[in-house]
Structure 1
């Protein structure tokens, strides 16, 4: 990513360029990204390809002012952070299901940013932390999004010289299991393809578009407009097709001519 592209990306998220790559700048960048760029899987229902290449991600998120899901959002954000002088690794994660078991490898992508200590950065998990989390800390970490804890996997003995496999918990519930090894963007392509094509993937079953707001979160799930307050209180309203198309434009800055498949008007 060159300087012009980085400047355009900063403009997209409404953020200033940090004077130096430090924790305060990282915190501001993550918060700005979450508020400006929605987590969304609309490409699946619209029949659009998901291409895990930096130029394609920039064209979508910055050029077309769209969002994306984890591979796209964290993949693009990693490029911006590197352009700003941060040291970034792409990490693979296994998302925990309702049964409490971790899913397949590469189910999710998160970022590790190395400063004076390692930080977990994630702008692609939907409801999650607003700010980076300390990867080396083992106590509670309080965040506007909840109380987080990073902990070594129970029952797995530590191997000297080998980074620990870590579970990330939010409000006491496991969210995902982090593989500490760094990967390349291309390593996520096979699972990304599965996520966007398999009938078993929840991304092919329904559409979602969600972002942080000043007073909580706003989500369009199919044609249900959901507002979630900072206390977790939710209000929902069923929209018509025309109202849903308008909601994409008003709340997310996304102009569509039709609803994604899997988002029926009623």
Structure 2
């Protein structure tokens, strides 16, 4: 499958999706959304991949919406900005959160607007220390979208989320890690190496357990303690009967690396 706005490949259990409009800081257009959606279609139907790596080409992860697509046309009414949220950004964030396997976002540079919130919607976010996260919406008279008003308060608390949204102040990756907004910030010269080590480790772990961890953690944001305890019980029951659980215990007792199959 050929793409013009993204680069996609699969190898060693890792699906790799790279946004590829570096001249526009990987800002999303309708064609880019369509290509990303096509990749997610493939992944939803494929049981072979174990982790998705999402990153950007060039000096940034994504500047969010390409504003050229929303510029007012002289003599015509303003565009309805709810339409791209309903048709493209909302579905993208929902699908990333619902994919069965972990999604790692490697933020290689600036992540702004909806681009920042797509990154933060992923399961594990690793960033180069030179990267910055910017809730730039207020600068053009808008509210954070692509899940930003839901994600930010849950990750960093109301005070910091409000400050980020109201001031549009760039947040350095190192501070983002200190605040708990992302998993880790690493030195730029070690960034590629650290990303590869992270996805390789995730790809080597039991897929059923990874999927269950993701499901349980995602469910906890809306569940009561009672509901979460029941979910943990049910997931543990399923995993306890899996071949991967037996393999993990056997490999531990035999003092050898486990070979998980996802069964």
Q: What TM-score comes out, normalization by structure 1 length?
A: 0.34
Larger radius of gyration: 2
The structure carrying a bigger helix percent of its residues is 2
The structure carrying a bigger strand percent of its residues is 1
Question: RCO (CA 8 Å, sep 6+): is it higher in 1 or 2?
Answer: 1
